[in-house]
Every structure is written in structure tokens, then in C-alpha cells.
Chain A
Amino acid sequence: MKLKGRRIYRGVAEGEAIVTKDGISFYGGVDPDTGKVVEVGHELEGQSITGKILVFPMGKGSTVGSYTLYRMKKNNTAPAAIVNKQIDTIIAVGCIISEIPCVDKIDVNEIKSGQRLFVNGSEGTVEVR
């Protein structure tokens, strides 16, 4: 199955999907040293997003979150790619400065955690393999 969305940041990535219906705030909500979601009560609380294709509806929270993604990239704890239903400024800018492939306008309900995904940020596509 190949889903067509919109290109946000170029590059390709392949990996395991980790999917949530909750929004993600990188500033305060994700630990950049461990790559784990730490927001209390979050669907992914305690789970690592490192090296995975992170699929969620939309970002939330402080604009400092863009810098948190950058820090994760430098720490090798960043997700391999990000797939959103609707992009917001914080995630878009975070992916651009960290060079993380990113696609939006994808129906994230079509994707299940554990599936193998191929993301093409340049084309704006997500392939479920």
C-alpha cells in the first residue's frame, strides 16, 4: 500500500512504524538523551522513538521543540522519519534543521505500530511494506 501525502522535508528512510493518536510535544514531552516519550499519560509514555518512523496526527507545545529534535539528531536518538496528518510549524522547522525526512497529509489511521514503512520525503509518500 502506498499513501500519497505532501513533502515537508526531503530524504528517504525505512523502518518500523510507531503510531499514536496523541499529539507530541518534543519540548518536555520527549527525553532527547534516551529517545523515550516521557509525557505523563501519553499513549507512548516510556516507549523509545529512536530510529523508528514516528506517526502521529500533529505536534503541540513550545516552539523550543524544534531544538529538541535537533538535539536528538545530534545524540543519535532521533526518529528516522516523521509522518503527520497535519504538520505544524514546530515539527516542520525541527525536521528541516535536523534533516529528518518528513511527510504530512497522510491518513495516520491507515498505519499500525510495528508495520515496516518506507518514507520518501522528497516525493511525499509513505509505503507500507
Chain B
Amino acid sequence: MKLTSDEQDMLDGKHGKAIRKSMEILTTLGEIFEAECMVDVGSVQIAGVSYTNLGEAGLEFLSDMAEDGKVKVLTTLNPAGMDRENWKALGINEEFAKNQVRVIDAFAKMGIITTCSCTPYFIGNVPHFGQHIAWAESSAVCYANSVIGARTNREGGPSALASALTGKTPKYGYHLDENRQGQVSIKVKAQVRGTDEFGVLGKAIGDRLINLGKNVPFITGIPSATVEELKSFCASIATYGGTALFHMEGITPESDRYPKPEGNVLEVNQKDLEKARSELVDVCPEVDFVSVGCPHASISEIEKIAGLLKGKKVKKEFWITTARPIKKIADEAGYSKIIEDAGAKFAADTCCVVAPIKGRFKGMLVDSAKACYYGRASNKFKVRIGTVEECVEEATK
């Protein structure tokens, strides 16, 4: 790999320990993936924030890096294991809270904005078309690449941090034109509406891509989609297909930039969607937990929930997970009061995937296909996917 003299100095330790370690990570990855050089990044999103996933070892690594490491570009954080203000009401124990605060403090010491959200693109970390970035958080990676047209690989926690401290990432994978072309055409022959259904579609396509061993789908047959529907789709196709980039004709900005994929066009029809949906519904005698906001809810989604909840009373644990700045907008718009008067709870900074709630509930109803996957795998819940309307209805039943 060719390094500039400045990059070589970083690797040689002339800018301190944390930068040296960061450059070791980046040059090694660059060599493994045969990058020719580094590229400057415009922003970073870091995953691996919940103390549940990091443990003492991860925290120790972050504390070591924070000794002399400071970020060079705008860097934001993934959700933490708890709402930083409202954790007690959400049943998080004191010891976990203490450790979670230690993690966030270590990030803050490095100059990272401690937003704790999986939707950085809603709250000020917004790259422009074509910009190189280094993001972790698979759903945000997919959104940034596909919906915005920025360029990032799927980074892990340490490699994203390394990019934050150096402002660099090795130029391979999705940073290069040749890897951004569609590899397989998929025609959707069904009407798809709502965050839940776009999640179901993401699973239907993602499962197919895994079987085919293809990475970048070129999708046709979707006449329109909201930002929230795309957000849900990104989370799902990344979860089930490992997808970091898709093109959607007429919707995403690079969909007409490259030649169309050769070969057969695969169809996804109503039956395929029904099958995918049935795989997101467990036999579940009792729903005792409802959660909306995976990925984190937008202000429009919160407005909609407030409208549906107005004047009603919630009878089950009902979380609305979102970024704290979005919650503040909801406070000012009066939505929070309606939602909280109904007995539902905001869980800002966190979500039903990373909070330490393993085994706490029996059955979870969500509008997110991604939340179904992790609800089962990490938290051992029975899960069911439904529309936002069904979520509110179940919570108030």
C-alpha cells in the first residue's frame, strides 16, 4: 500500500500511541483487501457502544485509545444499552448504568459526539453524494451507500474508531466504482407499503442474495418509498443479506449510473412476501412487549404514533426508541406528552436490540424485521412483525 509521508508518520508513532494503533489497523485491512492507498473520510459512525457487547475488555481498549486519541472528523455513536436519562424507568440496573456511562465517557474524551443513535443521518451526521465515509452500524451503512450515495464499507467498532482518529480509511470495496455496480436484477411484483412490509421485502431479497452469493441488488418495481420505509428496508436487507449497497430504480441516486446487471431477472411476488412474513411470526401465545423505532424512529413516525395513541391508555410495556435530538423535537411539538400520557415510554439513546433485556419479556411485537432477528437471537423473545397501527392496537388492548 502506498502511504503519504503524513500517513507513514502516523504509522511510525510520531503522532502518539492511539494514532499508531489506528494506522496499524487501517494499513493491515488495506493490505488484506488490496487497497492501493488511503482516502480521507468526511465522517465516522461508531458501533459497539452497548456495555452488553463490549464488556470490560472493550472498555479497556477504548480507555487506552482515549489516553492520547482525539477524533479528526465528525464522529457519532451507535445506540447504547440504556436511555441516558430515563434508564431507571426502563428497568436498567444501577451497575449496568454505571458501566455504560464509563463507555460513553471514554468515547466523549476522544471528542466523539455521544448521540447514541443508529440513524446518524437524521441528526446531523449527513454525508453528501459521493463522499467517502467510514461507518459501522449495518443499517446506516446501507442507507448511506444506497439512499444517499456516499461511500463506505461495513466497518466494525475498532476500524471505525481508527478512521475517526486518523481521518482515513483504506480505499477498497465500496469506495471504488467497480464494486458499486448492481450484480443481480430483482423485480418486485407486489405492492409494498409501510415500514413493516419494506422490512419483509428486505428479508425476502436478503435471503435470496445469501443463497446466490451476490452483494449488490438492482431492484425495480417499487414506484415510491418514504424515508422511513427505506430505513426499515436497509436495516432488514443488511441483517438478512449482509447487504451494504442496493440500487432501487427511480429512487436511489446511483440507480442509473452503472450498466444494468446481466443475467436473469429474479422476481419477488406476493407469495414470496407472505412466506418471508410468516418467518417473522413466531407461535406466540402472549405479547407483553411492543417496540417501535428500529432503526430509531423519525419525527414523522413519532407524530403518527402520537396520533394513534391520543386519548388511549397503554396496557403493556411499549417503547418508542429514537435519537435524543428527535425526542427533543417531539417534546416541543407536544407529541411526547400525548405518548407519555398514554403510558408508553420513550427509550432514547438505546433500543430493543442492545438494551440488557434478555429474557425479560415473553413475546415482542415490532414493525421491524431487523428487531425480529435480534429479539430472537440475542434476547430470546418470541417475536411478531406487524404494522405500526397493529403495534399501537396491541399495546392498548
Main secondary structure of the interface of B (DSSP, over half): helix
Question: How many chain B residues touch the partner (CB < 8 A)?
Answer: 21
Instruction: Note all chain B residues with C-beta closer than 8 A to A68.
Output: 57
Q: How many whole Å from A73's CB to the nearest CB in chain B?
A: 9
Write the A18-43 contact mask toward B (1 if CB under 8 angstroms, else 0): 00000000000000100000000000
Distance, CA A67 to CA B156, complexed state (A) = 11
Distance, CA A71 to CA B54, complexed state (A) = 10
Q: Is the CB of A63 within 8 A of B28?
A: no
Q: Is the CB of B55 within 8 A of A71?
A: yes
Tell me if B179 is interfacial: C-beta within 8 Å of chain A: no
Tell me if A8 is interfacial: C-beta within 8 Å of chain B: yes
Which chain B residue has the least Cβ–Cβ distance from A95? B28
Tell me if A108 is interfacial: C-beta within 8 Å of chain B: no
Which chain B residue has the least Cβ–Cβ distance from A73? B57
Write the B28-50 contact mask toward A (1 if CB under 8 angstroms, else 0): 11001000000000000001100
8 Å CB interface, B157-182 against A: 157-159
- Given known contacts A74-B60, A96-B21, is B156 in contact with A66 (CB within 8 Å)? yes
Q: How many whole Å from B112's CB to the nearest CB in chain A?
A: 17
Distance, CA A104 to CA B57, complexed state (A) = 25
Q: How many whole Å from A32's CB to the nearest CB in chain B?
A: 7
Q: How many whole Å from A76's CB to the nearest CB in chain B?
A: 13
Tell me if B7 is interfacial: C-beta within 8 Å of chain A: no
Tell me if B80 is interfacial: C-beta within 8 Å of chain A: no
Distance, CA A8 to CA B29, complexed state (A) = 9
Tell me if B61 is interfacial: C-beta within 8 Å of chain A: yes
Which of B54, B56, B158 has the most chain A CB atoms closer than 10 A to its own CB? B158
Instruction: Note all chain B residues with C-beta closer than 8 A to A97.
Output: 21, 25, 61, 158
Interface size class of A (residues with CB under 8 A): 10 to 19
Instruction: Note all chain B residues with C-beta closer than 8 A to A63.
Output: 47-48, 136, 156-157
Distance, CA A73 to CA B156, complexed state (A) = 20
Q: Is the CB of B32 within 8 A of A74?
A: no
Distance, CA A87 to CA B29, complexed state (A) = 10
Q: How many whole Å from B223's CB to the nearest CB in chain A?
A: 36
Choose from B25, B48, B136 the contact partner of A67 (Cβ within 8 Å): B48
Q: How many whole Å from A85's CB to the nearest CB in chain B?
A: 13
Write the A53-91 contact mask toward B (1 if CB under 8 angstroms, else 0): 000000000011011101100100000000000010110
Instruction: Note all chain A residues with C-beta closer than 8 A to B270.
Output: none
Q: Is the CB of B24 within 8 A of A96?
A: yes
Distance, CA A43 to CA B379, complexed state (A) = 27
Distance, CA A97 to CA B47, complexed state (A) = 17
Which chain A residue has the least Cβ–Cβ distance from B56? A71
Q: Is the CB of B28 within 8 A of A66?
A: no
Distance, CA A9 to CA B28, complexed state (A) = 8
Tell me if A100 is interfacial: C-beta within 8 Å of chain B: no
Tell me if B58 is interfacial: C-beta within 8 Å of chain A: yes
Q: How many whole Å from B193's CB to the nearest CB in chain A?
A: 33
Choose from B25, B28, B61 the contact partner of A70 (Cβ within 8 Å): B61
Q: Is the CB of B61 within 8 A of A67?
A: yes
Instruction: Note all chain A residues with C-beta closer than 8 A to B54.
Output: 64, 67
Query: Which 7 pairs show the lowest CB-CB distances between chains A and B?
Result: A71-B57, A63-B156, A67-B58, A93-B158, A70-B57, A64-B53, A67-B57
Q: A67-B58, A71-B60 are in contact. List 15 more A-B contacts (CB 8 A).
A: A8-B32, A63-B48, A64-B157, A66-B157, A67-B48, A67-B55, A67-B158, A71-B57, A74-B57, A92-B29, A92-B32, A93-B28, A93-B158, A96-B21, A97-B25
Chain A residues close to B by CB (< 8 Å): 8-9, 32, 63-64, 66-68, 70-71, 74, 87, 89-90, 92-93, 96-97
Ordered by A's residue number, 13 sampled pairs between the chains whose C-beta atoms are within 8 Å are: A9-B24, A63-B48, A63-B136, A66-B156, A67-B57, A67-B61, A70-B58, A71-B60, A74-B60, A89-B159, A93-B25, A93-B159, A97-B21
